[in-house]
């Protein structure tokens, strides 16, 4: 490009800028909407009451500010404004106490969605916490503790931590565990056990891997048809039993004797305590 073309381009750009500045007014490009002076622009929550104020006008009781007893009344007023085509940007403050116990005002995002100063969209790196390895002595000292179950967290050290134990899942559409939502049912779990999916978790029965001679001794069932021993043999426990039987027999005899005395006293019309003084032959 030669010098003449450059000069021509500069002149054209200058003329276009001059025409733009002379025809376009500044108030048309500063703001995209017209501000209505009748719009209330400040909403403050004090306790359960909402106070809507227009700071550009004088305060008139019942008119400015407008008081709402609850949030439902303010929502109805807001819906009425929308129907009338009035859209007012409102700055929302809420009365609260700070860490020192002093009363103040905190700016919130909106009366419907306060957000509490926190973003509603959490970054991806905070959605999934990092995986922290388990500190479990039940699985240390290999190979002696191989294939052991995870130790019980009695002190709640793993609460809120994403561990490899949380990543244990079953492959496939149906799960073998009854605690999962996609559990395949009782028969599905039984089939998984039968095909050996949990072979490493099973404990072998008693005597597994021993010779037949040892198995017969271990699995030998007791014989309940053996003749009972003679219980009349004088033994210590038999003597105690016989002594107790003699005491019971003596008590029974005394009971029969007292019954006889009461019967005779009723026949002779004498008090039972005096029957002992009367000979039995009388």
Q: For position 251, what pLDDT does the model report? A: 66
Is residue 2 in a domain?
A: yes
Model confidence band, residue 113 (pLDDT cutoffs 50, 70, 90): low
**Inside any domain, residue 110:** yes
Rounded Cα distance, 74 and 71, in Å? 5
Q: Report the candidate in 39, 42, 35 with the shortest Cα–Cα distance to residue 92.
A: 42
- Of 59, 90, 119, the one marking the end of a domain is 119
Which structural domain, as residue segments, surrounds residue 100? 1-119
Establish if 273 belongs to a structural domain: yes
Q: Which pairing describes strands 91-97 and 49-53: parallel, antiparallel, or unpaired?
A: unpaired
Classify residue 215: in a domain, yes or no.
Answer: no
pLDDT at 169: 61
* Per-residue model confidence (pLDDT) at position 171: 58
pTM: 0.31
**Cis amide prior to 66 (ω within 30 degrees):** no
pLDDT at 44 > cutoff 80: yes
Strand order across the beta sheet in which 66-68 lies: 66-68, 49-53, 42-46, 91-97, 103-107
Q: Is residue 24 part of a domain?
A: yes
Backbone torsions φ then ψ of 171, nearest 5 degrees: -80, 140
3-state secondary structure of 91: strand
pLDDT tens sequence across 20-33: 877 776 655 555 45
Give the CA distances from residue 258 to residues 101, 247, 268, 278, 282, in Å, rounded to whole numbers and listed in that order: 89, 17, 15, 14, 17
Query: Count of domains in the chain?
Result: 2
| Rounded-to-integer distance, Cα 150 and Cα 86, Å | 64
Asked if 40 and 60 touch (Cβ cutoff 8 Å), the reply is no
Residue 13 domain-assigned (yes or no): yes
Provide CB contacts within 8 A for 149, sequence distance 6+: 138
Per-residue pLDDT reduced to its tens digit, 60-76: 887 788 888 888 888 88
Which of 119, 137, 160 is the C-terminal boundary of a domain? Answer: 119
Which of left, alpha, beta for 141 (phi over 0: left; psi -120 to 50: alpha)?
left
Query: Is 213 within the bounds of a domain?
Result: no
- 42 part of a folded domain: yes
Residue where a domain stops, chosen among 119, 144, 169: 119
């Amino acid at each position: 490009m030669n010098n003449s073309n450059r000069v021509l381009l500069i002149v054209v750009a200058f003329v276009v800028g001059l025409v733009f500045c002379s025809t376009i007014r500044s108030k048309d490009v500063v703001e995209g909407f017209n501000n209505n002076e009748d719009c209330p622009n400040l909403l403050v929550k004090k306790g359960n009451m909402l106070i809507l104020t227009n700071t550009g006008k004088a305060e008139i009781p019942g008119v400015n500010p407008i008081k709402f007893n609850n949030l439902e009344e303010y929502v109805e007023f807001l819906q009425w404004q929308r129907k009338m085509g009035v859209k007012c940007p409102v700055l929302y403050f809420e009365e609260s106490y700070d860490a020192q116990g002093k009363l103040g005002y905190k700016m919130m995002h909106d009366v419907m969605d306060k957000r509490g100063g926190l973003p509603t969209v959490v970054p991806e790196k905070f959605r999934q916490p990092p995986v922290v390895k388990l500190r479990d002595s039940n699985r240390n000292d290999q190979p002696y503790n191989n294939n052991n179950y995870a130790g019980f967290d009695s002190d709640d050290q793993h609460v809120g931590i994403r561990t490899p134990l949380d990543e244990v899942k079953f492959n496939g559409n149906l799960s073998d565990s009854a605690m999962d939502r996609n559990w395949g049912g009782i028969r599905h779990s039984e089939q998984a056990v039968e095909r050996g999916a949990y072979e490493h978790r099973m404990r072998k029965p008693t005597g597994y891997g021993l010779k037949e001679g040892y198995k017969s001794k271990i699995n030998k069932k007791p014989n309940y048809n053996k003749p009972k021993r003679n219980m009349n043999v004088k033994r210590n426990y038999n003597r105690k039993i016989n002594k107790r039987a003699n005491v019971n027999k003596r008590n029974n005899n005394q009971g029969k004797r007292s019954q006889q005395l009461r019967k005779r006293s009723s026949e002779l019309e004498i008090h039972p305590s005096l029957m002992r003084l009367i000979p039995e032959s009388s």
